[in-house]
Chain A
Amino acid sequence: MKWGMIKGAVAASAVALSLAAGPVQAKETVKIAFIGPLTGGASSIGLGGRNSAQLAVQLRNEDPDTEYDYELVTLDDACKPNVGVQVATKAAADREIVGAITQYCSAVAMAAVNVYHRFQLPVIVWGAVLPDITYGNDYPEVHRVNGTMINQNETAARFMTDKGYEKWVIIHDTTDYGKGHNKYFSKSLKANGGEVLGTFGVSADQQDFTAELTEAKSMDPDVIYFGGLTPVGVRIRRQMERLGIDAQFEGTSGIISDSYIDGLGDLAEGTVAFLEGAPLSKLPGGDYFKAQYEEAGFSEPAEAYGPFAFAATGLLMDTIEEVGPDRAKVTKALAEVDDADSIVGKIRFDEHGQNEVAQITKYVVQDGEWVVWEDSEYASGERSLTGAE
């Protein structure tokens, strides 16, 4: 596997609840669904998520002590809300499907949660980060294992202001992802005493940012914050250099990917970004997940949210093992999840189904790799960020 950072731990939970005893006989097959973007621009994340969910199901089915055999139905939402509603209906209307691991794209999740609620299908969101997906409604069916962008930006703002930075220019793409990041980061920054000199919304397929960056340069910021995904992040970082802007570059979870480093080479050095979840490399058994993923021979890497999909799938199957393949019972049991172990850390759902234990990890690019901040030479003082005190 390419991406060294994802070293998952196989969930302790994967074994904990397998209480089924008795002779091995033909098990009842239970269907669960995975929904994510398998085609289109976000497909690499979607495929990584699908593989990870598939892996969780495979590992579970190999375990002779489980009550049920699981079948994963994978559906493609293409990162488009109308397609998302279609496939959500397909999954939710299929009474054989007991639960689902759903959505990476926030706009699609916003559209689809209504469908899940209407058909009472319990779902666990594995990647979408918009707060409103869990907080914007009272649907008992909707849960989420990953943190929201609120958590991420609180940490980001505190961390950067602690480093002594004062003046920011914010660039964000005009998708829900970028706009949400802009909103929550600006808010947190204000609370921490940072100043925003200017904000630029750019489109997600824009090629040229020199007009925005030239204006940004004239404002003389300490940091350029970018809320958006890798391709635009790469372009902005590169064009910053072309225009001779020597501010620190700060990104969001959207740029933490191998292709950010591939796309920039040496220029990526020193970029900081933040990701929900505990650093997987620190969890026991991280190498086991990595080894399993490699052994399964998937042709795509797990990418940043694969471990969340793996954890969500595990949690759903645990719950089904516990209460049986019944949607209402699963919904009820999921609401009571408290301190469940998973490869992304403990999972505890609040009254909105949001995982409360949203640890945020800080990353920095060092020698062509995303390194956890605390382990980096930047933290130890051997290197320093641009313009840091």
Chain B
Amino acid sequence: MDNVSQASAARRPDSPQVITSLVMGLVGGALLTGFAAWFLKAESEYVVGFLLLLAVVGAVAASRLGALDRIGVAFGAYEKSLYAIVIAGVLVLAWIFRQDHFTLLMITTVMVYMLAGLGLNVQFGYLGLINLSGASFIGVGAYTSAVLTMHSAIPPLLILLIGGVLSALVGCLLILPVLRTRGHYAAVVTIAFAILFESFLKVNDILGGPQGLPVGAMSLFGWSFNNPITFGGFQASFYMNYLLLTLAVLALAFALVRRVERSWIGLSMDAVRLDETAAACYGIGIRRWKVLGFTLGNFLIGVAGAIYGMMLGFIAPANFGFSDSLILVSIVLLGGIGNPWGLALASAIVVILPEKLQMIQEYRFLLFASLVVLVLLFRPDGLLPRGMRNYLPGRKVAP
């Protein structure tokens, strides 16, 4: 199927394809939301199994019928309205589960992983810089929020930013070796950092040592996020606060990353990833983009860590080890390198599936590792591969 001609056809607002695409997008969004709600509600493992089967069959059928392509086209052409659909879907889920603390925590955790995944995606997906210390940068953000919420009067919203900035600064320590090296050499630098960071946290007593640190609550205009929401007759778990905050931050970050991807910045990053030598020949400053991308990525990961710390209320070094970094990398790989939408699917699989299928708890690392191996072998671009770069996407040509 010729994507480009279809996409350009889809751009004409009066074409019937546009209408059907948009309708399919809406219907798809509604179906997905309904499915997610059912899945989150499911208690028995049989229901979960059935739903998984349904998802696989549905995905295969949709792709056979070409619905996926259509939705993809619709995404390209009407991304803004589809953002709205997705955000509305999350809000509907939040409404359904407003009293259900645990489900809200899970949904928010998925979004925190997505946020961190976005950061890794900039580094790995766009620039080709592999970062195997993602969990360490989450740790920098989380520890920043722990120290600052407990020992300073800085407004917590600002602490989120500081968490991101500090994470980016710590990343700058690695910049020199990462810039001077490439490929495997750079990978070993980040692995060394991941191991060093975890043992540093454990040995160091100032930051709570192995026991970890309590983290203060997020608060906004005097409203502490650890209070349940009561608003007239409406009551919701305090996790709703964090869910809404994370959703807002995620939406901002998502928009930012998509903008970067589409702009000449993203184009330059792609060039750097695909062929450094050729990129340099065309006058693209390799170092500049690497520094920018690496820093932006770590900033996003750090913000994710700061939110995560505040939501959990307690953090310890065991959360930020090398194996957690591997899980983050698997999320990016599973979802589809370079495709931020794939992150949503992959984070949901990695976070929610083991919770729903308690029997696989014991086998979850084996399962995820095997899944990633299979994906790399047979679908190296991930479950939702990054689409072809689409010039002028969403631009509506005047009739």
Binding site for B on A (CB under 8 A): 38-39, 76, 79-82, 85-86, 89-90, 92-94, 106-107, 110-112, 114-115, 118-119, 130, 132, 174-176, 178-179, 201, 203
Contact = CB atoms under 8 A, between A and B. Distances in A.
Interface stretch (B101-109, B246-254, B330-338): B101-109
A85 B313 contact: yes
12 contacts: A80-B318, A81-B212, A81-B316, A82-B319, A90-B102, A93-B237, A107-B212, A114-B313, A176-B209, A176-B210, A179-B209, A201-B203
A205 to B, nearest CB: 10
A110 B315 CA distance: 9
Interface of B: 100-102, 105-106, 109, 199, 202-203, 205, 209-212, 214, 226, 237, 308, 312-316, 318-319, 355, 358, 361-362
Contacts of A39: 361-362
A260 B206 CA distance: 33
B101 A107 contact: no
A139 to B, nearest CB: 13
A76 B357 CA distance: 12
Contact of B318 (A79, A92, A112, A132): A79
Nearest to A118: B226
A175 B199 contact: no
A115 B312 CA distance: 9
Contacts of A176: 209-211
A89 B102 CA distance: 6
A175 B210 contact: yes
B210 A93 contact: no
Contacts of B316: 81, 107, 110-111
Nearest to B363: A39
A219 B101 CA distance: 55
Given A85-B313, A107-B210, A111-B312, A174 B202 contact: yes
A80 B199 contact: no
A82 B361 CA distance: 15
A132 B318 CA distance: 18
A81 B318 contact: yes
A107 B211 contact: yes
Contacts of B315: 81-82, 111
Contact of B102 (A94, A118, A132): A94
Given A81-B319, A174-B203, 5 more contacts: A39-B362, A93-B100, A119-B101, A175-B210, A179-B210
Contacts of B102: 86, 89-90, 93-94
A39 B203 CA distance: 25
